[in-house]
Structure 1
């Protein structure tokens, strides 16, 4: 199938927004909390697809194209811009001025031709990105395996998953762990909370993640939750056993986004000491955090994790977190030269 590729402009926004809305409807997921007056899927803050596309197109350095198939029918669009904040606050070698991001809402292929359309769209956009020195490409999308597979065929890998779990007011609680007690953490507990947050970051240096975590990053992790520990809108707990810390969890209000309704809390940090793993400590901490979240008006809890983590990748889905978004990445090696 052949496509006509053209630069994307404001005049393409309505039909592109329609493609985006139809895609999300096909996934049977509503990424926003409500429906806008125009009929497009929108957040409770009044966000809709057309507004999102206009914002992406207006970003400095944005590269955007549309594709048309037979009879000039819209086949898809793609908008890539600077990577900005990827949302995990843990720098690695995939960010910085070399990076570009196809953010949520930044692409939508027509159904049935995802692979073919994205191949042509990405070829056009990536050529411009690489020519400008942007050789690390990220893509955000709903947890849609059909569209993700089209990206995989272009050389991308699954880098991170975001999941959600409902928060309930009551229900079966996990069995207790022998000798374990849970207490609320406050400002005076910054040292143990910070130590475990730094340990969590340091773990990302290992296989199979291999994400650089410089010492200055670990130093920031040790004080990262200083404000949260004193904020009544946040919650933090320490698991104690025989007078020693066995684990901790920190919950904060979730940052607003296209897949984050307003009544969502963020599982910002969770850690269990290696000597206490496999005993159910994290289940008890999660149940404690969920009970607090429900009492503060939250109805779901969200968390993200690197897919290469031997600990996190299997653990959070096992606890009930359902994937809602993917983040993909492709690093282009230009050491051997390339043409553009």
Structure 2
């Protein structure tokens, strides 16, 4: 129960800065459910901090079975809470000894947007890798720029949508992101769109300039995203799941218009906020989405041991 109280306290502090995050987990009983789930994840290990006979912090990490992430360990949303952020460094020193001894040298941690806690992880050798962010829906519809048409995608757009599916992973394979994520083949993307174009759970928009489709964006319910669940999932929220513009068409406002289209859609649906995420080394998205009003709520930080 103590760990649940610690996590509930963390969520309360977090919501003072980011009130769109869910209030439910300020209840220690619900927070304890999340700590318990983290503890029961296969392969979990960690450390607890005991001061004067009282538990005042904990850290839990578990591996993910993915070749992309390397021999890894992840500290997820409910995997850490501590009253004194500086003491997270002591918790990590104990937990990481076992992780590294087990060969878990690729380490990832999802850190709530608390300045002192982020700084503690920074001083443990972790750097920013990925941003999670949220913003309220617009009060009034956002107008599209002149010369650009943004509309819902149609079956006749499948060929260009498949091309656009490859744009983001190809871009993120380049400097300065250097992502190791797999780039699908055009044939795979075509097959996926043939199957999913009529899926009403997703709102797909395309941007046209001079009669040519140059970009797309996708909106859906936040429940479709496993990365934005539980403590990181605002109530009644939409999700900006994807956006890409052909390289030769960038710089004319299409990316912003596509993001705004998802915001307008979310407001029309009746959502109260919209969530998105991005690689912080992606220079395009890390500048575009904050300009649309997205405010970072969680920092995914990363350290590779031994280099």
Q: Deviations over 1:43-77 (max 9, x none)?
A: xxxxx2100111111112110221122x2233311
More displaced stretch, 252-261 vs 126-135 = 252-261
1:59 is aligned to 41
Equivalent of 2:110 in 140, 143, 167: 140
2:151 is aligned to 183
Separation in 1, partners of 2:269, 2:134: 17
Aligned pairs for 1:135-284 (under 5 A) are 135-168=105-138, 170-171=140-141, 173-178=142-147, 180-216=148-184, 220=188, 223-224=191-192, 227-254=195-222, 255=225, 256-284=229-257
Q: Deviations over 1:225-261 (max 9, x none)?
A: 5554211121011111122222111112223432113
- CA apart distance, 1:155: 0.6
Equivalent of 1:120 in 66, 90, 93: 90
Q: Call closer, same or farther: CA 1:250–1:41 in 2, change over 3 Å.
A: farther
- CA apart distance, 1:286: 2.4
Structure 2 unpaired stretches of 5+ = none
Structure 1 unpaired stretches of 5+ = 1-13, 43-47, 86-90, 335-340
Equivalent of 1:309 in 282, 285, 294: 282
Moved over 6 A (4+): none
* 1:298 aligned onto 2:271: yes
Q: CA RMSD in A?
A: 2.4
Q: Give the TM-score taking structure 2 as reference length.
A: 0.88
* 1:17 aligned onto 2:4: yes
Q: Call closer, same or farther: CA 1:293–1:225 in 2, change over 3 Å.
A: farther
- CA apart distance, 1:32: 5.0
Tell which structure's C-alpha radius of gyration is larger.
1
Q: Give the TM-score taking structure 1 as reference length.
A: 0.80
Q: Deviations over 1:74-120 (max 9, x none)?
A: 331111111368xxxxx84xx14x11101101111113xx12x1122
- CA apart distance, 1:160: 0.3
Separation in 1, partners of 2:233, 2:89: 29
Separation in 2, partners of 1:170, 1:16: 42
Q: Call closer, same or farther: CA 1:18–1:155 in 2, change over 3 Å.
A: same
